[in-house]
Structure formats: structure tokens, C-alpha cells
Amino acid sequence: MSERQQLHLNLFIHDTGHHEASWRLPESDPRADLDLGFHQRLARIAEDAKFDSVFLADSPALWGDPARRPSARLEPTVLLAALAASTTRIGLIATASTSYNEPYNLARRFASLDHLSGGRAGWNIVTTAGDAAARNFGLDGQPLHRTRYERAAEFLEVSAKLWDSWADDALVGDKDAGVHALPDRVRPAGHHGRFFRVEGALNVRRSPQGHPLLVQAGSSEDGKEFAARWAEAVFTAQPTLEEGQAFYADVKRRAVALGRDPEHVKILPGIVPVIGDTEAEARELEAELDRLIRPEYAREQLAALLKVEPERLAFDAQLPDDLPTEDDVEGSKSRYTLIVELARRENLTVRQLIGRLGGGRGHRTFTGTPVQVADTIQHWFEHGAADGFNVMPAVLPSGLEAFVAKVLPILRERGLFRTDYTGRTLREHYGLPRPGDRYALASAVPASV
């Protein structure tokens, strides 16, 4: 193996597991989605295993058909604040939308989480596709894809100004002089832009990491440009090695073109491992889960993503030839293309496609023994497709327990994953520098003559 940093591994917590039928197994608690103790248990298992972080997805709308699977969600920054009190080292990454929040409130929430956790907060930045969310915020439908990313870019500009509005040395706490903070070291944002007007300084001091780790999950052209500009970690769905390699090289190249160090942009595909002591045992668990899928619910979901009527998707036929193109889709463009290409490439029927998506919604699914799972992780890592993985167990907590007990020892034996934490902040886990104060950096640049 060439000299490289070790793998980065995040635990993606998704109620009872990423397989849509996981909640129907006898071991699963269908009410786990709102159970703090359940989430604390998972976070502690991941922390004991030295994962980089736990990760929570989110949406400002009800997630799909509530008959299909658990669809309630605790607000992720609130949940992670609770998890911060029951863990000490693992990173805490929450998803939040730039389309349905305001910079001041959201910057404050993430700065607060970074303080409360001692520098372990991360923000997964999403622009939120779908009309359902838009209608929850007084809109008739979702803004255009390009408009959502333009708003997101300005949202990040404002957030960065707010996070840096307090200099690191602003707080002096001088009791004798009666000066708590130096007023000239607390700078107003003073932002007047296309989407936002934000005048004042943040009412939270600069946080332990400078600002929370910035994560991004879009893989469209707009998404990759946004990631190259802002993201320090990119969560992505790449079902094949070749697609993973192409995405990895593309985002790193774009980052270099913007003057960034490509090692400061970690590419972390999702992987859904289904693990058995033998391959036959793993296949048996996979088959059991797939048998529990309700195809009529899954077809409704697929039809909504493909922008067609469900009746056009015959279970035992392939996808229609006259589907919309990606350019016609204003929702999740990259996920749309991923699913259509998967179906076309492998000549899948709708029923077969539903089965493939039931486990990981387009992420890399892998069913096999611990050695086989470790081999595929190592192969992607060593062949330019990943800096690590977002681990998405098909069933929780058992899938996480199997990964920790049976796969991690193999990765450690091969020198691919840490045996202990070497830092305390999420940035330190990722080997990333603490960002400098933009105002201090600007004042240090000599004026041109």
C-alpha cells in the first residue's frame, strides 16, 4: 500500500437501519427513531470503535410515505447536543438545509454545538429537493436547482462572516478593568447580498474548531462545484468502483483549480454492508430483508423520483424508454441519474431495481463475509475512489455491532484504521487544519501600492 492517511469512517444513523424493511425484523424497535437512548447506544458503540463521527440526515418535510418505514425525525442539532453530553471524542455531523433556514439562526446553532461538544460539530450542507418541503415554507414549489445552489453559496459566505465575527482573542475577562470583551475585536457581518441582509455580529463566540466542519452531499455538476469551493468532506453515493474513481478525481481536480489542497477535501462514499460469518449467511439475511419490502410503497417512491405516474412502472418490466432527462429534473439530479443508469446498465426490472434501492437508495451495497467487506473497502481506498466511508448498516444496532466486531479488526490488522483517537476535535480526526480568522487574515495582507 502506498503511503496514505488511514481510512476515515463515519456512522450514518438512520432509525432501525438503511434497509427500508429493517424495522420489520423481530429485533427492531419501530419507535427507535425518536428514542434518545437508542441513539446514545449507537454513538457510544461508534465512539468505542474510534469512528470519526456519527452522521444524521434530515429533511424539513415528512420523509416519504409513513406507512412504508419510520419517517419521524428528531431535529438533528438538538439530538446531537444530547449526544455531545454522553460522548467525549466522536464527531457530530448534522444535516441542515440552506433553502429553508436563515444564516444567522443556523450559524448560531452550529457554533453552539461546536462549543457544547468541545469542537466536534460538523454541518452537512444540503439545498433540499422536492416540492413537499417548499410547501411547508409558504412556496408553491421548490426553487430551481441552480437557484438553490446560488442561495447556498451566499448562505455559506454569510455563515463564515458570522463565525469569524468574534476574533479568537476578543474575550479578555478583565475583572479589574471591568472589560469582558474587546469591542473592536467583535466585528459585524455587514452583509448585503442577493438573498440575505445580515448586519450584526454573531451572539456566540468563535468556536473551538474556528467553525464547524463543512460537509456536502450533492453530486450534480452544481453540487460538485459547491463541494470543491466549500466542503471539507463529501458524502456521495457511488455504486461502482469506476464511478467512485471518476467522482473522486473530478472533485479533487476542481478543488485544486480553486486553489485548495485536495487532501483537505475528504471523499467518503456510502457503503451498506450486510455481513455474515459465511457468504451464504450474509445472503440469507439480505434475502430476508428483501422479502419484507412492500413493493407497492417502493414503487410510489421510485415514481416520484423519476417524475412518472406509478402505473407506468410495471413491476416485471424495465424502466420506460421515455423518462425525463437530468436537465428536466429540478430535484435530486445526481440521485435521479444514478438510479436510471443503474437500471439501464444492469437491465433491471422495476421489481429488481426496487430490491437494489431498498438496501441503500443507490449507495454501494455489499453482502458478504467480514473479509470480503474489508477487501472491498480497502480496494476502493487504495484505488482512488475513497478517503474513507460513510458506513450505513442495513440493520441497527446489529449491523453496526457486526461491522465493529468483525470488520474493523481486519482493517486494523492491515494498518488501515486507527486503534485510538489522536485528537479531540472532528477536524483533528480528519487531519484538517483549524481555519484562520478571515478578518485577521485580511488585515495581515499588505496593502497594494
CB atoms within 10 A of CB 275: 25
Does 95 appear as a known binding residue? yes
104 is in an annotated binding site: no
Q: Which three cell numbers stand for residue 363?
A: 449507495
Flag whether 88 is marked binding: no
DSSP notation for 12-81: EE-TT-SSTTGGGSTT--TTGGG-HHHHHHHHHHHHHTT-SEEEE---SS--S-TTTS------HHHHHH
> Beta strand 364-368 with 171-174: parallel, antiparallel or unpaired?
unpaired
Give one DSSP letter per residue of 384-407, joined into a string. Answer: TS-SEEEE--SSTTHHHHHIIIII
Q: Which residues pair with 273 in a beta bridge?
A: 366
Amino acid in position 134: A
Q: How many other C-beta atoms can be found within 10 angstroms of the C-beta atom of residue 326? A: 14
Helix (H, G, I), strand (E, B) or coil at 327: helix
Burial class (CB in 10 A: 0-12, 13-18, 19+), 277: exposed
Distance (Å, whole) CA 448 – CA 158: 26
Q: Which residues of 74-94 are buried (b: 16+ CB within 10 A; e: fewer)?
A: bebbebbbebbeebebbbbbb
Residues 6+ apart with CB under 8 A from 194: 150, 154
Q: Percentages helix, strand, coil for the chain, rounded to the nearest 5?
A: 45, 15, 40
The reply to whether 168 sits in an annotated binding site is: no
Nearest to 270 by CA among 179, 208, 357, 169: 357
Q: Is 219 annotated as a binding residue?
A: yes
| 28 labeled binding residue | no
Q: Which of 34, 48, 55 is nearest to 126 (CA)?
A: 55
- CB count within 10 Å of CB 138 equals 6
Quote the CA–CA distance of 425 and 52 in Å, as a whole number.
Answer: 10
| Contacts by residues 183-188 (CB-CB < 8 Å, ≥ 24 positions apart) | 187/439
Q: Which residues are annotated as a binding site for FMN?
A: 58, 95, 145, 149, 219-220
Q: Which residues are annotated as a binding site?
A: 58, 95, 145, 149, 219-220
